[in-house]
Amino acid sequence: MAPAPPAYVTALASGRLADRVRTAYRALKHCTLCPRRCGVNRIEGELGVCRTAKNAVVASHHAHFGEEAPLVGRSGSGTIFFSYCNLGCIFCQNDDISHAGAGQPVSSRKLAEMMLDLQQAGCHNINLVTPSHVVPQILAALELAAEHGLDIPLVYNTGGYDRPQTLQLLDGIVDIYMPDFKFWDPQVAEQAAGAGDYPDWARRAVIEMHRQVGDLVIDAKGLARRGLLLRHLVLPGGLAGTAPIMEFIAARISPNTYVNIMPQYRPCARAGEIAALAQPLDPQDYRQAVDTARRAGLTRLDRPRRTFVLQF
């Protein structure tokens, strides 16, 4: 039996996708897409925290083989890396993209062409990296790409600093949500990302994501088709708050949640501003994090594999 088409294909046929494009672009005139709620008119070129105006800025697009196995398969995950970020962690490993904005502004048509190029290259999905501040641009490009035959799952790969109201524009559009739940403690979130409200927004966002797509569904070929895949980067000194995050996922989201507990932290960018983050992760901290997840009742844990670090 052939797999069901991606959600956005059905949304295109019903006209729902076109409606979402119009609604999303209206939001750019007084931007409150993300929890920063800057209120700037991005259509007219005003810039808020994300420093992105009417057009999305893209750093690169290519097949990526360092993602989770259900995304990578044999031919890779078709990643599109958006520049800038609405969160801005001081330890970001892609600081030149997320903070410095390496990349080029692209039209919706060009973004659609990137999606189609990745599908033509055999990628198993379209993986939108750091998409929270460019939802309208993504929807517009997706409409064009779907009209020209795009039909592989859409992955929303986010840092977790998302407004449920914006995520609702993606209901019936996104197939796979992949948030990183980064911090549990508001004080740590404020110090590390200037976002003391992050834990509250992340909890609300993950609940909404799971409401839309449910637990991760993997087909007979081992490929993700739909659902929630949650990431958690373990930080030195327990700063991420791994235990309460895992307990929240198991109790409030689902004990069947597919979770990738990531061990690849290393001091980057301005990490040295927080003493505990100035050192690499102790392997014992990672092992304890995995044990914590299992004690919380989570059993679908991604297997560690070699980490690929992108160089630009």
**What pLDDT is attached to residue 3?**
79
**What pLDDT is attached to residue 247?**
98
pTM metric for this prediction: 0.96
For residue range 13-45, list pLDDT tens digits in order.
Answer: 999 999 999 999 999 999 999 999 999 999 999
Counting Cβ atoms within 10 Å, is residue 187 exposed (0-12), middle (13-18) or buried (19+)? exposed
| Alpha-helix runs per DSSP H in the chain | 7-14, 16-27, 69-72, 95-98, 108-120, 135-147, 164-167, 186-193, 198-213, 242-248, 283-295
The answer on pLDDT for 302 being more than 50 is yes
The answer on pLDDT for 255 being more than 70 is yes
For residue range 123-137, list pLDDT tens digits in order.
Answer: 999 999 999 999 999
If pLDDT is split at 50, 70 and 90, which confidence band does 199 have?
Answer: very high
Residue with tokens 């909890």: 203
The answer to whether domain 7-295 has CATH 3.20.20.70 is yes
**What pLDDT is attached to residue 1?**
64
Per the document, the length of the chain is 312
As a whole number of angstroms, the distance between CA 47 and CA 103 comes to 16
The answer on pLDDT for 49 being more than 80 is yes
Q: Which residues pair with 301 in a beta bridge?
A: 259
CB count within 10 Å of CB 10 equals 15
Annotated domain spans of the chain: 7-295
**What pLDDT is attached to residue 309?**
38
**What pLDDT is attached to residue 52?**
97
Contacts of 179 (CB under 8 A, 6+ apart): 156, 158, 159, 160, 162, 202, 205, 206, 209, 228, 230, 231
